[in-house]
Structure 1
Amino acid sequence: MISSKKMDRISNLPEALISHILSFLPTEESALTSVLSKKWRYLFADRPNLDFDGSVIRFHPETCEREKTQVLRVFTYFVDRVLELQGNSTLNKFSLKCGHGVEPDCVTPWILNVLARGVSDLDLHVTLAGLCLPSKVFMSKSLVTLRIESENVIGIDVEDVFLPKLKTLHINKVMLGKGGDFFEKVTSGCHVLEELVLIHVYSDFWNRSVSSKTLKRLILSCIDCDKNPHSVSFDTPNVVYLSTLIS
């Protein structure tokens, strides 16, 4: 008879191999493997790419508010716990999707945490009433890709833009703070920007011109905004794709 000790091949796998296997799973699913072995207990958090999707949480119409709150607290605790387990380790990608019910006061610390750890790919799809993203989102030496999207309009106070490595910027349904023209700040603060997508971006400050020598792909769509300019001029000699809709 083969002893259980000899049959426990899972525990004998090298940690590097386990981490590699878990990297192919979504963060929530990889956490389920922690019950397989004591050795696997916290390895799910040892990964350079994190993706948290609270948007998949669906409730029955008769679900009471108390039960909804408890479920969303579990999601919040899970994100907090994973970030705590990772400590100050370097992070490549952080993807967050969450809707109504998650406290905005929880989201901001998560974003600041990954920015401080040098994340290079930040993907935020958040639909939270009263959420105003921190201005530090536009002050990062490490970001290469930044996507901000919402089902409703969220705010962000853009005081300055300094994203020296940023190549891709997508913004959808964001209210920009009153701090000067956003186009000018982006083109002057993003020296290697190649792709710029602005959809339903609202601001009291619009410059009627876009100037960039590095842009290759530009999509601009702003509808039903009183502050929109009647026309926009482009000085983008290297653009290979251009799509605009302003009304």
Structure 2
Amino acid sequence: MDSTSRKLTNICDVDRISDLPDSLLIAILALLPIKPAVRTCILSKRWRPLCESLPNLDFVDVRNSGINFTNFVDKFLMRRLNDLKITKFRLICSGGDYYRDRVDEWIMNAVGRDLKAIVLVISFPDLCELVQDFFYMCTGVEVLLLRGKILLEIPENVKFSRLRVLSFHNVRISSYESVGKLLLNCPVLEDLDIVHCKWLTGNSFSICGSALKRLSYCLSSDDEEFVLRTLIDTPRLESLKICSYTCGDNDILFKGNLPFLKIAVIDIYNNEIPRGVDCVFGLLKKINHVKILNLSDHTVQIVSLAYDNELRTGHYEFPPFHNLTKLLINVKDYCHETLLDDFLQNSAKLESLEFPQGLVCTSLHESFRRSWGWSQSRVPKCLCAHLKTVYIRKFHGINEELAFVKYLLAYGSALRSVSIEISNLSKDAEAWQELLNLQTESTTCKLNLIDENGKCFL
């Protein structure tokens, strides 16, 4: 064996990884899923206490492993020293009830170790009620995420002095009022998700948070007798998502304006007149400081009802959006012809305009379609001075769409780019040739004809 080969052999014989300090090895193991991390125990005796000291415990059973999953979690937690802290505990259980009676013990084992974040996703056939002391034992956590078939009985006097992130998804909650009281006892809460939860009692709900920066609130019910009054008092809010799919007599009210709001997604479905219209216009007035606004097709349809029923007077008029720089407006079933014009007239600083679902509803007969209402003598200020980019998806080449593009190119003095997704448009169609002509004639603005993957046609 030559000297070079001997050197390579000596290098391979050295276990340099095991020479690393424990803190670095634990940090490396923490990057792995928990089962592969545990398998490193077979490398040497030194590795066993390392994997048992992992700060983040992530137990996931999505294959209904039953007894195998139960044994793995039991053995892992049993071997772990009682004085070792846990930074994050995540438990995802779906399917059967094989280990339902073990879940409480696993959770209590984790919350008693100075836990910082807990994530529970439970999908048993029946509701899983958390142990009575769960909330009292979690008062020191910073992140609490609960999802699935979980029944929550929230105590009145529990306080989360460190909680920054709270998320309830599809859980069953004893009452609206209990969550409202809980939020009052979360002084540093910044991020709140309450999405498609079911409630046993109550008809009023308060979302209050002086430190809250992000709120996602989604409510759904097909019960016509369902009544809920939601009051939102979050003066520092920066990001807002409101989804409400209800048939009953419901309100979402803001106590004050949101001067720091940057992003808002509004998705309201309630065709009750004037209740649905009143709700949407009330929201628009409170969020008029927003910079980026995304309106769902449901919301657009409700706003259009105000025009059709001659309600767009007084408090139904559009507020000025002085800070709005990007507007996404979704059109699926119906949109009134002058709606967009009203938005642009009241958004002087608008720089970007997108139509994620296209410009018109092609499922309607052409006699029922309405084009965007424009007036050459009333060109929106933003179109002349600030609007730089327009993106249109699902372009079909009908007359209403072509007229809109021509108007943009004719009066968009600040326009730099108009992108049109034409994946459904045949190259033999007259509209295709007309777009190519516009592309050639346009000088200050670049007209991009692209496919559904964003690739430009040459």
Name the TM-score, length of structure 2 as normaliser: 0.46
Q: Which is bigger in relative contact order (C-alpha 8 A, separation at least 6)?
A: 1
CA distance in 1, matches of 2:182, 2:164: 11
- Contact 1:202–1:225 (CA<8 Å) still a contact in 2? no
| Structure 1 outlier segments of 4+, above 6 Å | none
- Contact 2:118–2:143 (CA<8 Å) still a contact in 1? yes
2:447 corresponding residue in structure 1: none
2:109 corresponding residue in structure 1: 113
Match of 2:163 among 161, 166, 181: 166
Q: What secondary structure sits across from 1:51 in the alignment?
A: strand
String of CA shifts for 1:129-165, please: whole Å, max 9, x gaps: 3311224343323210111112xx3312222332111
- Contact 2:180–2:205 (CA<8 Å) still a contact in 1? no
Distance 1:15 1:211, change over 3 A: closer
- Displacement of 1:99 in angstroms is 0.7
Q: Does 1:53 align with 2:60?
A: yes
Distance 1:228 1:91, change over 3 A: farther
List aligned pairs for 1:1-247, cutoff 5 A: 7=14, 12-55=19-62, 57=63, 71-88=65-82, 89-101=84-96, 102-130=98-126, 131-139=128-136, 140-150=138-148, 153-160=149-156, 161-177=158-174, 181-203=177-199, 204-224=201-221, 226=223, 228-246=226-244, 247=246
The share of aligned pairs that are identical, in percent, is 29
Count of residues paired in the alignment: 231
1:61 corresponding residue in structure 2: none
CA distance in 2, matches of 1:134, 1:21: 34
CA distance in 2, matches of 1:206, 1:143: 29
- Between Structure 1 and Structure 2, whose CA radius of gyration is higher? 2
- Contact 1:90–1:117 (CA<8 Å) still a contact in 2? yes
CA distance in 2, matches of 1:195, 1:9: 43
- Displacement of 1:128 in angstroms is 1.3
Distance 1:34 1:225, change over 3 A: farther
RMSD: 2.6
Unaligned 5+ residue runs, structure 1? 58-67
String of CA shifts for 1:35-58, please: whole Å, max 9, x gaps: 111222342111111111111x2x
Unaligned 5+ residue runs, structure 2? 1-5, 247-458
Q: What secondary structure sits across from 2:108 in the alignment?
A: helix
String of CA shifts for 1:101-126, please: whole Å, max 9, x gaps: 24221111111111111211111111
CA distance in 2, matches of 1:119, 1:231: 35
Name the TM-score, length of structure 1 as normaliser: 0.82
